Amino acid sequence: MLVLSPEAIPAPVRDRAPRSAAVLIGTLVLAILTFQLNATLLSAALPAIGVQLGESMRDVARVQSTFFLAGAVFGMVFSRWSDFIGRKRSLVIVLTMLLVGTVVCVLAPSLPMLLVGRVLQGAASATFTISFLLLSERLNSRLFGIAVGIITSVNGGLFGVDGLLGGLVTDTIGWRFLFVITLALGLIAIICVALFVPQDEPGNQAGSMDWWGAGILSLFLVSVTSLISQASSAGWSDPLTIAYLVGTLVTAVAFVMVENRIARPLIPIRALRSRQVWPLLVSTVLTMAGAYSALNFTVIMLSQDQQVGYGLNASMSALLYLSPTALFGVTAAIFSGWVAVRIGWITSLRLSSGLIALVALALAVFALDRWAVFGLLIVMGICYLGLFQSAVNGVSVVNSPADARGALPGLNGACFGIGIGTGIALVAPLVATASAAGYQSALWISVLLTAGSFLASLILRAAVKTGA
């Protein structure tokens, strides 16, 4: 059981006037949109980027994968570093990196230079976790719950409009103008952060950042992400896959050894071993692996299969099986934090993960019924994009060790990307068979993954804080 020492107990949450809280939440939403729109606006532009830069689609796909990998690393590092340098200063740094990266992307003459810009843009991933931490310190529990729901809803984009906007801009003006849009938004966001985000009180965290731990954990994230990607394309017996597996194991062992020897570790190993931390990380990975692969990969591929699927084109597939899911999910997310405060963050997590497992089961059973799948995906969007993501983000804040408050939100944020990559790697070979049995088997894997997430949520316990 994780018991926090009295000196590690954080200051009580402050109560703020509704108007002041609204300004703060609005500012953080702007900051988070700079990251989210850089992810969603560009999806439709990838083919055009490949044509203009003379690159294959396989290589151009790195524009997105590199961005999310950099986001996982920077999100973890800056979340913890913000414990030492302050939340506001951290937001200014990551937004500055995003602006520099966006300028590089606008001017990039080649794919390698574009990837450099995308790495810098990935730093803005930390806006999510830093925002959750800042809000937990500045708002009372009721307003914090509402804020978590609003912030989480931004994770779904602009109700699906952003994907459409990205395609229209690419077709009419060109894909580089997408970066001009996010550059303008980033400039507005950094000005608002400077004006409206309150200064941190001195002495937020004694000591200094554990850069050794951050570096090794970053290598672990790169290794495990590369392992999943390589295994999905070349198989688990491939020599490079085995090399990445060895690298993953070595960095994991090295991280534990280093953290046990450092006075101010990135995250205390005792906390990582506790039922307040590891079940949450497992639940995030398994839910993202199961739900994301079912919604955004298996069903989409099935819907466009002309032989055994629904025989839809890409536009109609997105209209029926992506847009409604996102619309209902984002709407539910707005209210999910309010619900979580009333029933408890962990209860909300268990409820949503259990419902997700049940919907995944129904998807596997009724996979070949297009209208049953249509309705089930809307329910999945509410449970997954709405309830679960708000709950898991809220728990990551309230369960984080008080002597390392940025650690668990940062690690949990990294688990989103790891889960997505894991899910795709597991179901891709089955989906590639383009058979009814293959699609259904892929969905049954999603059932097992989401059921595992529900079991992990049952193991999860609330952090026990002692002391005045």
Burial of 168 (0-12, 13-18, 19+ CB in 10 A): exposed
The answer to which of 21-30, 159-168, 421-430, 442-451 has the lowest mean pLDDT is 159-168
- Listed in sequence order, the DSSP H helices in 344-435 are 345-365, 370-380, 389-398, 407-431
Tell me how far apart the alpha carbons of residues 454 and 126 are, in angstroms, rounded to a whole number: 27
* Residue 239 one-letter amino acid: P
How far from each other are the two terminal CA atoms of the chain, in whole angstroms?
Answer: 19
What average pLDDT score do residues 121-128 get? 89
Share the mean pLDDT of the chain.
83
Please tell me the pTM assigned to this model.
0.79
pLDDT in tens, 151-197: 877 766 665 566 667 777 877 888 888 899 999 999 999 999 999 98
pLDDT in tens, 354-384: 999 999 999 999 999 999 999 999 999 899 8
What share of the chain has pLDDT > 70, as a percent?
A: 89
pLDDT in tens, 297-321: 888 888 878 888 888 876 677 778 7
Tell me how far apart the alpha carbons of residues 265 and 345 are, in angstroms, rounded to a whole number: 27
Binned at pLDDT 50, 70 and 90, residue 43 comes out as low
Given this model, what pLDDT does residue 191 score?
A: 95
